[in-house]
Amino acid sequence: MKNKSNLLLLAALFGGLLFNFLFWKERLALNLFIYSIYILAVTYFNPDVTKSNKFKIYGLAHLSSAILVVINNTDLSIATYYISLLVFIGFSHNQQIRTVFAAGLAAILQMITTPYNAINNLSKISIGNFKLKPVFRLIKYIIIPTIVVIFFTCLYAAANELFAHYVNTILSSIFNFFESILQFFFEDLDIERFFYFCFGLLLTGGLLLPFFNKALENAELKAPEQLKRTRRESNQKTLWYQVMETFSGNLLSRKMALKTEYVTGVIMFAALNILLFLLNTIDISTLWFGYKPAGNFSSALHEGTNSLIFSIVMAMAVIAYFFRGNLNFYRKSKILKSLAYAWMFQNVILIISVFIRDGYYIEFYGLTHKRIGVLVFALLCIIGLCTVYLKVARQKTLFYLFRINGSVWFFLLLAFSVINWDVAIAKYNLAQSDNISLDADYLLSLSDKTLPVLDKNRSKLHYMPSKVYDEREIAQPQTADDYRNQLDERIGYFKTRYGEEGWLSWNLQDWKVANYFGIRHSN
């Protein structure tokens, strides 16, 4: 155990040095991939980590996300990188965990408790006959009071400007004192970079040093996936049961609660099916076939889509609520289930209407991140409805929904990171410039990866009024050359930025843009 602790602490120390080398004044790109290789290797060789299929799957998923950062280098790929890293660490050190949500939370808790975990590992080290455990036991007593004092100091400083001034003065004096000492012994020491190393050390330690408390893992182990019929004893009443009993009199005591809930559910789902049938009939007759934009077309599509998506999410929540317990085992529940299935099917039709609305929006106005987001969210709603159907049909728990949907969302996030959305948006909108209302301002707000595409289509970057008669307007530039000047400025900024970057900031997309404009690194 002592050797394991020593090796993990050394790995965290080296990781802090590596972090400092890789990321100091560099962009996130190839350096993230190198850092991931190190984290994956140390975790793999940690004998306390079981090399299960779960470890391999999520380790490979994180490595893929790191590669996608180098290939695409989009905000989505970087966000996926961080999420996959947390999920991998959570599953690696808590392999009894079953959901990506719990794995991510476990990793966050592990990182928050890094100082405590480090002290716990340091206390196991002994130098000859001298043991460090008594020393670090004293430090443990200081940590919690220190954190509490810092917390309330921040609160008091926020409440009183004069107090905040005194705190800042004291902290500045302490910082200058330690800075002078460090500068005295290490004349060439960069203080900012030293603190950056400390940050890297804490981060790496949080990823490598496991949190010994398995309370979250044990709590999730108790969550079942299969519903079981439960019988409440007369002397065992939950708080919710007591509240319901207050308003329902002796209805619950006569064991009529389940039947009441069943009748309520039948009436509600029947009414909702009729209501949604009317809405779907209107959508199919007016939207699906021969739709022509009229009036405030943009506002109608945008607001209607938001409302429909919210209604679909609420529909899934209502179904999950009614089929959360003993109603699944009620002998007359076949009618209720049939009505619920019908409502699920009608919600699928509603999602198709969302796809069509968004399709019309893209047809007239082109692609944007938000419109792509609507399509993705509609896809997730279909997947959610499918899992809700499985929950009702197979009598599964809410935990089952969280587990399945979490895994699906995670791997869809990884899949969507494969596409460079900024480039795809720019190429599509410029290719359809004769058919859509091209928004040059939006295209020029996209990332530097789109610069070659925009440069090839300079002639299309001009003011274009809306081709659809509604209230939507595109801001008109002051001069005809405004857009081209903005593009030239963007290209100039990229040339300056790329020329100053080192090899650690290398990524495929920037390299392609640099090759297009004939730019080379200065270092």
Q: How confident is the prediction along the chain (523 residues), in pLDDT tens digits per residue?
A: 455 667 888 899 999 999 999 999 899 999 999 999 999 999 999 988 889 999 999 999 999 999 999 999 999 999 999 999 999 999 999 888 999 999 999 999 888 887 776 666 666 665 556 565 665 566 666 766 777 788 788 888 888 888 888 888 888 888 777 777 766 656 566 778 888 998 999 899 989 988 777 788 888 888 887 777 666 554 555 554 555 555 555 444 444 467 777 888 888 889 988 988 998 898 888 878 876 665 555 665 666 667 777 777 888 888 888 877 777 677 777 888 898 889 889 989 988 888 888 888 888 888 999 889 988 988 998 998 899 889 888 888 888 888 999 999 999 999 999 999 999 999 999 998 888 878 888 999 999 999 999 999 988 887 666 555 444 555 556 566 888 889 999 999 999 999 888 899 999 999 999 999 988 765 5
Stated length of the chain? 523
List beta partners, residue 396: 226
* Predicted local distance difference test score (pLDDT) of residue 145: 77
Does residue 294 fall inside a structural domain? yes
Residue 92's H or E segment, with its range, is helix 75-93
> In the listed set 178, 197, 218, which residue is the last one of a domain according to the structure?
218
* Predicted local distance difference test score (pLDDT) of residue 7: 83
Phi, psi values for residue 324, rounded to 5°:
-90, -15
Claim to verify: residue 253 and residue 364 sit in the same structural domain: yes
Helices (H), 230-256: 239-248
Does residue 234 fall inside a structural domain? no
Tokens coding 315: 């529909």
Give the total number of structural domains in the chain. 3
Claim to verify: residue 386 and residue 332 sit in the same structural domain: yes
Claim to verify: residue 377 and residue 456 sit in the same structural domain: no
Claim to verify: residue 329 and residue 388 sit in the same structural domain: yes
Q: Which domain holds residue 18?
A: 2-218
The C-alpha atoms of residue 459 and residue 475 are separated, in whole angstroms, by 18
Does residue 228 fall inside a structural domain? no
Claim to verify: residue 365 and residue 441 sit in the same structural domain: no
* Predicted local distance difference test score (pLDDT) of residue 164: 86
Claim to verify: residue 343 and residue 389 sit in the same structural domain: yes
* Predicted local distance difference test score (pLDDT) of residue 3: 57
Claim to verify: residue 206 and residue 275 sit in the same structural domain: no
* Predicted local distance difference test score (pLDDT) of residue 231: 62
The C-alpha atoms of residue 519 and residue 412 are separated, in whole angstroms, by 35
Does residue 199 fall inside a structural domain? yes
pTM: predicted TM-score of the whole model, two decimal places: 0.82
The C-alpha atoms of residue 118 and residue 138 are separated, in whole angstroms, by 14
> In the listed set 171, 203, 218, which residue is the last one of a domain according to the structure?
218
* Predicted local distance difference test score (pLDDT) of residue 1: 47
Query: Other C-beta atoms within 10 Å of 51: how many?
Result: 13
Claim to verify: residue 484 and residue 386 sit in the same structural domain: no
Instruction: Answer whether 91's CB lies under 8 Å from 213's CB.
Output: no
> In the listed set 381, 396, 411, which residue is the last one of a domain according to the structure?
396
* Predicted local distance difference test score (pLDDT) of residue 440: 87
The C-alpha atoms of residue 506 and residue 513 are separated, in whole angstroms, by 12
Q: At what angle do helices 100-112 and 191-208 cross, to 10 degrees?
A: 130
Tokens coding 72: 């695409």
Q: Please calculate the CA angle 109-80-43 and round it to the nearest 5 degrees.
A: 55
Claim to verify: residue 58 and residue 205 sit in the same structural domain: yes
Claim to verify: residue 132 and residue 201 sit in the same structural domain: yes
The C-alpha atoms of residue 464 and residue 476 are separated, in whole angstroms, by 8
Instruction: Answer whether 195's CB lies under 8 Å from 188's CB.
Output: no
Does residue 88 fall inside a structural domain? yes
Question: Cα separations (Å) of 300 from 289, 291, 308, 363?
Answer: 17, 13, 12, 15
Does residue 231 fall inside a structural domain? no
Claim to verify: residue 494 and residue 352 sit in the same structural domain: no
Does residue 204 fall inside a structural domain? yes
Claim to verify: residue 189 and residue 265 sit in the same structural domain: no
Does residue 180 fall inside a structural domain? yes
List beta partners, residue 130: 127
**Please, what's the b/e burial string for 85-106 (b: 16 or more CB within 10 A of its CB; e: otherwise)?**
bbbbbbbbbbbebbbbbbbbbb
